[in-house]
Amino acid sequence: MQIMIDIDSNTPMFAQLIEQIKKAVQTDSIKPGDGLPSIRQLANDLNVNNKTVAKAYQLLERDNVIQTKGYRGTFVHPDAKANCSFDLNAWVFEKLSETIETLRKAGATDSEIRIAFGDVINNRTFKEKEA
């Protein structure tokens, strides 16, 4: 498995990592149980920050594509191939599309929608905007 990172790409580096590792799983380039390079090592090889690799690994583990076993390292998840096919971000995109379409049809301004969205995601209860 070889990973290439394009610094000048429009897609962020951690996303490139996720893409390529998923592709490696889908093409059987790496199989369940295989060990992945450690965060520090991969970061060093690619000349990126540890946190960038760690971010990619965390998201991959959340999606059950890889598994981290503490001090023992990181491994490909048993059901990696199946879990690769589900794209959480695509699903999030769809759900938000539906909701926003509803709000727009109700006459809400994009600006209003954006503000309400910001309030919700920052756990600001409605109309409670302090100084």
Partner DNA sequence: ATATGTACCCCTTAATCACACGGTACATAT
Partner DNA sequence: ATATGTACCGTGTGATTAAGGGGTACATAT
* Separation between Cα atoms, residue 47 and residue 14, nearest integer Å: 13
In the window 53-72, what residues touch DNA (CB under 7 A)?
54-55, 57-58, 61, 68, 70-72
x-marked contacts with its own copies along 77-96 as a string, rule CB under 8 A: -----------xxxxxx-xx
> Among the candidate windows 23-31, 79-87, 96-104, 110-118, which touches DNA by CB under 7 A?
110-118
Q: How far is the CB of 109 from DNA (least distance, A)?
A: 8
2 binds DNA (CB under 7 A): no
- Closer Cβ to its own copies, 9 or 41, answer by number: 9
If 0-12 CB within 10 Å is exposed, 13-18 middle and 19+ buried, where does residue 11 land?
A: exposed
Helices (H), the chain: 13-26, 39-46, 50-62, 80-84, 88-105, 110-121
Contact with its own copies (CB under 8 A): which of 50, 62, 68, 82? 62
Q: Which residue, among 70, 81, 108, has the nearest Cα to 21 in the 3D structure?
A: 81
Residue 86 makes CB contacts below 8 A (sequence gap 6+) with 63
Say how many Å lie between the first and final Cα of the chain, rounded: 53
Q: How far is the CB of 105 from its own copies (least distance, A)?
A: 11
Contacts with DNA by CB under 7 A lie at 12-15, 36, 38-41, 47-52, 54-55, 57-58, 61, 68, 70-74, 110-111, 114-115, 118, 121-122
